[in-house]
Chains A and B, each alone.
Chain A
Amino acid sequence: MSRNRQIFLMVVVVLAFVLQLSVLPQFKLLGVQPDLILVVAVVVAVQDGPVAGAVVGFCGGLLQDIASPQLMGVSALTKTLAAYCAGMMKDFFMTYSILLPVLLVFLATIFEMGAHQVVMVVLGQESLPPFKITAVLAESLYNVLAVLVVYPFMRRFKFLPKEDSVILTKPSKT
């Protein structure tokens, strides 16, 4: 991964975090809002590999934990695992269609919410609301909508290394 791409990902994570806290709560549907940080982490996992996705998931999740009144570290942990698993699953699909990130975001959302709930139960957070399958499905579908915007946007800023970009240029006639 190039340095430009790394800087770009840092900017994207911060941007996703800001949007997650400010804009997206205003556009809740069925009581849920898209988890943009998870979507970005899964897209990074698809485009840059599972570890890059895990790092993005960790950083974004930790920012989310710090800036919201919840148990610190849980979102970071679950988003790390979800993004890493999504990145690993990518290799099982021989396609570069947008359907791949769509499917992976859908599955990652279900996994992340389930894992979040499990961790909370293990840590004895009894004040939490019960696990609602409708909320999980609603957020999954909302995230699928988000990935349709995020994935093409992030693919535009691949910042391929020079040796890779030479291969993509047309061969000269001479």
Chain B
Amino acid sequence: MPAAPRSNRNRIILIVIIILCVTIVTLYVRESDKGPLHKIQNFFLDLVSPVSNAFAKIFRPIKDGVVNLFHLPSLAKERADLQKQVAELQRQRIETKEMESNLEELKRLLNWTEQQAEIQTVGADIIGQSPNNWQRLMIINRGSASGVQKYMSVVTDQGLVGRLISVGSRTSVVELITDSRSEIGARDQRSRETGIVAGKNDSTLRLTPMKEDADLKTGDVVETSGLGGTCPPGIPLGKITKVTNRSSGLTRYVEVKPYTDFSTLDKVLVVITPEPESVILREQQ
């Protein structure tokens, strides 16, 4: 019967293999790092590592492709989440910039009010612009409830902005100094010559001096004179950019560039003056 010897042979082979394995394990554990088995292992490791690295480089694109394929549904979700995050971060960034800008503006206004200690002011946000091109108006979020009244001056740290021509309970309309109907009592800071600064519905102002031979030069600073009682004196209006003697000799044309940049205006201060409207009315009478 041949099956029995074959079975015995198989058992012997198995036992030999197991003994061989145990021997290898024992020798490996007992020998030092410089033993022959360790040397063989190190030799093969040195041999195999570059090959393994080379294969890793070769298969990296395939592997990435397969991995991406498996992660396709999660990648789509991840992409949507990231897009949401980007949108949210962009919104936050815009908000932060807006807040930084507001803060800067408020700091400047605060500095200005600290310098002008005798002037009482109320801070206001610009909430609207004139709806047409032939008026230079702005709407602010302060009204009679905040103590502001008609004809009160509106300023920034840069200079005069305009004055209130309409006051509601919560909002007011500011007539900018560039509006063609605006006329402000002014003076040359250097020569103290007085005049009237009027708007032209563009980016510059026109100064009409009281005296025809007034001492006015290009580069002079023009400020409010305080005459008329609606606007405190000494608030900068702008700088003289052009002085032209008209050929007719009747009136000199003096162009003033306002200090205030109306296009970037966001926050303003309303100067609280005692009953400016009554002053205007008295003058009119």
Among A129-172, those with CB < 8 Å from B are none
- Given A27-B66, A51-B13, A77-B21, the answer on whether A22 and B28 have CB atoms closer than 8 Å is no
Interface residue B285 (Cβ < 8 Å from any Cβ of A): no
Q: Does A104 sit within 8 A of B, measured CB to CB? A: no
Enumerate chain A residues within 8 angstroms of B51, measured Cβ to Cβ.
Answer: 21-22
Are A58 and B59 neighbours in the complex by a CB distance under 8 Å?
Answer: no
Q: Which A residue sits closest to B64, measured CB to CB?
A: A26
A80 touches B29 (CB 8 A): no
Please tell me which one of the listed residues B22, B25, B52 contacts residue A22 in the complex, with CB atoms under 8 A apart: B52
Q: Is the CB of A76 within 8 A of B21?
A: yes
Contacts known (A55-B13, A67-B48, A77-B18); A26 close to B28, Cβ less than 8 A: no
Chain B residues with CB under 8 Å of A22's CB are 51-52, 54-55
B265 CB within 8 Å of chain A: no
Alpha-carbon separation in the docked complex, A71 to B21 (Å): 11
Contact string against A for B residues 31-74, beta-carbon threshold 8 Å, 1 for contact and 0 otherwise? 00000010011001101100110111001101100100000000
Interface: B17 (CB within 8 A): yes
Find chain A residues with CB under 8 A from B48 CB. 21, 67-68
Q: Return the contact of B10 from the options A21, A26, A51, A67 (Cβ within 8 A).
A: A51
Residue of A nearest to B63 (CB): A26
Q: Does A54 contact B (CB under 8 A)?
A: yes
Question: How many positions in chain B have a CB within 8 Å of any CB in the partner chain?
Answer: 30
Cα separation A22 to B53 with both chains bound (whole Å): 8
Interface set, chain A 20-49, CB cutoff 8 A to B = 21-23, 25-27, 49
The answer, yes or no, to whether B122 is at the interface (CB within 8 Å) is no
In the assembled complex, which residues on chain A have CB atoms less than 8 Å from the CB atom of B66?
27
A23 CA to B63 CA in the complex, in Å?
10
Chain A residue contacts of B145, Cβ below 8 A: none
B17's contact among A23, A25, A54, A119, by CB below 8 Å, is which?
Answer: A54
Complex CA gap A54/B19 in Å reads 13
B87 within 8 A of A: no
User: Is B210 located at the chain interface by the 8 A CB criterion?
Assistant: no
Q: How many residues of A contact B (CB 8 A)?
A: 29
Point out the residues of chain A lying under 8 angstroms from B14, CB to CB: 50-51, 54, 80, 84
Instruction: Report B-chain residues with C-beta under 8 Å of the C-beta of A62.
Output: 24
In the bound assembly, the distance between CA atoms of A68 and B28 in angstroms comes to 14
In angstroms, how far is the closest chain B Cβ from the Cβ of A59?
Answer: 10
Alpha-carbon separation in the docked complex, A76 to B44 (Å)? 16
Q: Are B55 and A58 in contact (CB under 8 A)?
A: no
Cβ–Cβ < 8 Å partners of B280 in chain A: none
Please tell me which one of the listed residues B13, B37, B55 contacts residue A54 in the complex, with CB atoms under 8 A apart.
B13
Bound complex: CA A66 to CA B44 (Å): 7
In the complex formed, the residue of A with least CB distance to B20 is A58
User: Would A72 and B41 count as touching, CB distance under 8 A?
Assistant: yes
Q: Is the CB of B17 within 8 A of A123?
A: no
Chain B residues with CB under 8 A of A67: 41, 44-45, 47-48
Residue A114 is within 8 A (CB to CB) of chain B in the complex = no
Shortest B118–chain A CB gap in Å is: 76
Kindly list chain A residues whose C-beta atoms are within 8 Å of the C-beta of B13: 51, 54-55
| A residues in contact with B28, CB < 8 Å | 71-73
Complex CA–CA separation, A27 to B70 (angstroms): 12
User: Which residue of chain A is the closest to B62 with respect to CB atoms?
Assistant: A26
Closest 5 CB pairs of A and B: A73-B24, A77-B21, A22-B55, A73-B25, A26-B59
8 contacts between A and B (CB under 8 A): A23-B59, A25-B56, A55-B13, A55-B17, A58-B21, A67-B47, A71-B28, A72-B25
Other A-B pairs, 19, CB within 8 Å; known A71-B28, A76-B20, A80-B14: A22-B54, A22-B55, A23-B55, A26-B59, A26-B62, A27-B63, A51-B13, A55-B17, A58-B21, A65-B24, A66-B41, A67-B41, A67-B47, A72-B41, A74-B21, A77-B18, A77-B22, A80-B17, A84-B14
